[in-house]
C-alpha cells in the first residue's frame, strides 16, 4: 500500500478474483511499538493517552521487539515498518530502530512528526530509513488542531517536518479525508506535493476503534464522509482519478468474481506480511483484531504463528448466506472498502456485509461510468 508512488485507491487484495499460489514466505513485518500517542485525533482507531501507565506496562520491551524481528529475519523478512500510536513517544526508539537496521532490514517509520528532535534527525541521517511517512491532518493551524485536539501541535508538526526535509531525509505523506478537513483537502494535497516528488496518498477510510469505545466510535462515524463525497473527492484529484481510470477493468468486472467456496479470507491477510502488536499480539494484518484471529507471541513464537496459526485462520469458513451471495459474488467488490477485519469492527462478525461500504462502491462505480 505505502509503496505506490501515486495517491491511488487502497484496494483489498481479495482473491475471490485472484488465486494466491506458492509457499507463504514472510517478507515484511509491521511492528507497532506503542498504542500511545501525543495527539488525540478525532478519527483514530487505536490511540491511548501518551502518559497511560497501564499501556506502558503492557508494551513489548525493546529486547522483545528485536527478538521477534530477528526471528522474522531468519524466516526471510527483508523489510519492516515501525508504527504506533506514535513510535517516537518511546524513549528507546533509537535503540529499537538501530537494532532493526543492524539486522539488515529495510526500515520505514510512520510518525506525525510532532516529536521529531535533533537526535532523531541525526539517527536518520547516519542510518537512513527506507522512508519516513508523515501524517498530515490539515494545512492550516485551525484545521490541523481541530483534528488532533492538541493546541500547539501544528507548530510542532511543521517544525519537525522542516527538520526532516532540511536534512534530506526521505519523507512521504499521507492524509486521512474526514469531515473536519474535507474543505481543506486540496490545500493538504498541495502542501504535501510541494514538499515531495516521491509520494502522497489520502485515504477516506475511517476504522472504528479496536477497543470498541462507544464515545470514540460515535466521533469516528461523525467524521466519515458520505459515499458521494468520497467519489467526488477522488474525482477532483488528478492522480487519484487517473489511477482509478487506469484500473477500471479490474475495479468493475463484467462477471461475478471467481467462486472460492465459503472461505471468509479472500484478502491477502497473512500472505507475505504480518503485524506484531504493541502488547505482544500477532495479527495477520494491522486491522484484524477478532479474538479468534489473534496469537499471543508472549506464549509462543513468530514462526509458529506464521506457519501454523495463519493457515488455520485463513481456512475459516462462512455459513452466512447474505455474505456468500452478495460480497462473495459482487462485481464491484474491488471498489469496496469491505474486508473481514473491518466487518468485525463494524458488526462484531467477520462475514457480515456493511451497507456503508456497499454505498461507497456504488458511488465510485457511478462516478467512473460518468467520467469515462
Within-domain flag for 20: no
pLDDT at 13: 40
pLDDT at 15: 37
Within-domain flag for 231: no
pLDDT at 286: 95
How many domains would you assign to the chain? 2
Q: How many CB atoms lie within 10 A of CB 18?
A: 13
Which runs of E-coded beta strand occur in the chain? Answer: 28-32, 36-37, 48-49, 79-83, 106-111, 131-135, 171-176, 200-203, 273-276, 281-283, 294-296
- Residue 9's SS3 state is coil
φ, ψ of residue 279 in degrees (nearest 5): -105, 15
Half-sphere exposure of 117 (CA within 13 A, CB side): 8
| Domain boundary residue, one of 295, 316, 337 | 316
Within-domain flag for 74: yes
Do residue 141 and residue 274 come from a single domain? yes
pTM summary value: 0.90
Per-residue pLDDT, averaged over 210-218, amounts to 96
Within-domain flag for 1: no
Within-domain flag for 18: no
**pLDDT tens per residue, range 333-371:** 888 878 999 999 999 999 999 999 999 999 999 988 886
Do residue 60 and residue 195 come from a single domain? yes
Give the residue with greater pLDDT, 241 vs 294.
Answer: 294
Per-residue pLDDT, averaged over 16-34, amounts to 72
Sign of CA dihedral 345, 350, 355, 360: positive
85 lies in which domain range?
A: 28-225+269-316
Confidence band, pLDDT 50/70/90 cuts, at residue 243: confident
Do residue 155 and residue 114 come from a single domain? yes
Do residue 340 and residue 308 come from a single domain? no
Residue 141: Cβ-neighbour burial (10 angstroms; 0-12, 13-18, 19+): middle
**pLDDT tens per residue, range 300-338:** 999 999 999 999 999 999 999 999 888 878 888 888 878
Give the residue with greater pLDDT, 119 vs 324.
Answer: 119
Do residue 155 and residue 259 come from a single domain? no
pLDDT at 349: 97
Do residue 200 and residue 330 come from a single domain? no
pLDDT at 36: 98
**pLDDT tens per residue, range 131-173:** 999 999 999 999 999 999 999 999 999 999 999 999 999 999 9
Q: What is the C-alpha to C-alpha distance for residues 165 and 195, in angstroms, rounded to an integer?
A: 8
Give the residue with greater pLDDT, 137 vs 23.
Answer: 137
C-alpha separations of 1 from 8, 54, 97, 268, 309 in Å: 9, 32, 22, 12, 24
Within-domain flag for 23: no
**pLDDT tens per residue, range 55-75:** 999 999 999 999 999 999 999
pLDDT at 241: 85
Residue 105: closest CA among 67, 72, 61, 63: 72
Q: Is the pLDDT of residue 21 over 60?
A: no
pLDDT at 4: 34
Do residue 354 and residue 259 come from a single domain? yes
Q: Is the pLDDT of residue 274 over 60?
A: yes
Q: What is the mean pLDDT of the chain?
A: 90
Within-domain flag for 4: no
Within-domain flag for 109: yes
Do residue 125 and residue 249 come from a single domain? no
pLDDT at 258: 61
Q: Is the pLDDT of residue 120 over 90?
A: yes
pLDDT at 330: 85
| Domain boundary residue, one of 316, 331, 349 | 316
What CATH number should be reported for the domain holding residue 95?
3.20.20.70
Do residue 310 and residue 324 come from a single domain? no
For the chain, percent of residues with pLDDT exceeding 70: 90
Q: Is the pLDDT of residue 176 over 50?
A: yes
Confidence band, pLDDT 50/70/90 cuts, at residue 115: very high
Q: Is the pLDDT of residue 252 over 80?
A: no
Q: Is the pLDDT of residue 245 over 50?
A: yes
Q: What is the C-alpha to C-alpha distance for residues 67 and 175, in angstroms, rounded to an integer?
A: 32
Do residue 207 and residue 153 come from a single domain? yes
Confidence band, pLDDT 50/70/90 cuts, at residue 260: low
Do residue 173 and residue 184 come from a single domain? yes
Do residue 189 and residue 259 come from a single domain? no
Amino acid at each position: 500500500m505505502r509503496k505506490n508512488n501515486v495517491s491511488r485507491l487502497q484496494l483489498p487484495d481479495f482473491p475471490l478474483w485472484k488465486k494466491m499460489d506458492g509457499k507463504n514466505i514472510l517478507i515484511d513485518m509491521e511492528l507497532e511499538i506503542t498504542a500511545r500517542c501525543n495527539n488525540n485525533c478525532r478519527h483514530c482507531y487505536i490511540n491511548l493517552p501518551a502518559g497511560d501507565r497501564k499501556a506502558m506496562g503492557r508494551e513489548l520491551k525493546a529486547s522483545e521487539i528485536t527478538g521477534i524481528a530477528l526471528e522474522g529475519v531468519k524466516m526471510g523478512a527483508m523489510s519492516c515498518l515501525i508504527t504506533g500510536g506514535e513510535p517516537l513517544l518511546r524513549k528507546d526508539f533509537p535503540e529499537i530502530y538501530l537494532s532493526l537496521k543492524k539486522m539488515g532490514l529495510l526500515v520505514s517509520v510512520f510518525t506525525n512528526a510532532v516529536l521529531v528532535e535533533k537526535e532523531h534527525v541525526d539517527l536518520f541521517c547516519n542510518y537512513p530509513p527506507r522512508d519516513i511517512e508523515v501524517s498530515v491532518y490539515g494545512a492550516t493551524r485551525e484545521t490541523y488542531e481541530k483534528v488532533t485536539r492538541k493546541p500547539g501541535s501544528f507548530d510542532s508538526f511543521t517544525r519537525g517536518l522542516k527538520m526532516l526535509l532540511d536534512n534530506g531525509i526521505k519523507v512521504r505523506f499521507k492524509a486521512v479525508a474526514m469531515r473536519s478537513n474535507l474543505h481543506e483537502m486540496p490545500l493538504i494535497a498541495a502542501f504535501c506535493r510541494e514538499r515531495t516528488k516521491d509520494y502522497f496518498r489520502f485515504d477516506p477510510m475511517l476504522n472504528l476503534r479496536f477497543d470498541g469505545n462507544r464515545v470514540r466510535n460515535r466521533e469516528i462515524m461523525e467524521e466519515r464522509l458520505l459515499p458521494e463525497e468520497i467519489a467526488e473527492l477522488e474525482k477532483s484529484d488528478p492522480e487519484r482519478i487517473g489511477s482509478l481510470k487506469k484500473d477500471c477493468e479490474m475495479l468493475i468486472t463484467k462477471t461475478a468474481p471467481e467462486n472460492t467456496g465459503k472461505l471468509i479470507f479472500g484478502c491477502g491477510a497473512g500472505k507475505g506480511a504480518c503485524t506484531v502488536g504493541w502488547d505482544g499480539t500477532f495479527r495477520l494484518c494491522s486491522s484484524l483484531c477478532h479474538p479468534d484471529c489473534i496469537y499471543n507471541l508472549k506464549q509462543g513464537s513468530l514462526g509458529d504463528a506464521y506457519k501454523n496459526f495463519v493457515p488455520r485462520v485463513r481456512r475459516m469458513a462462512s455459513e452466512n448466506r447474505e455474505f456468500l451471495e452478495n460480497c462473495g459474488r459482487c462485481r464491484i467488490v474491488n471498489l469496496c472498502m469491505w474486508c473481514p477485519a473491518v466487518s468485525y469492527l463494524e458488526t462484531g462478525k467477520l462475514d457480515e456485509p456493511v451497507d456503508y461500504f456497499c454505498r461507497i462502491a456504488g458511488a465510485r462505480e457511478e462516478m467512473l461510468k460518468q467520467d469515462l
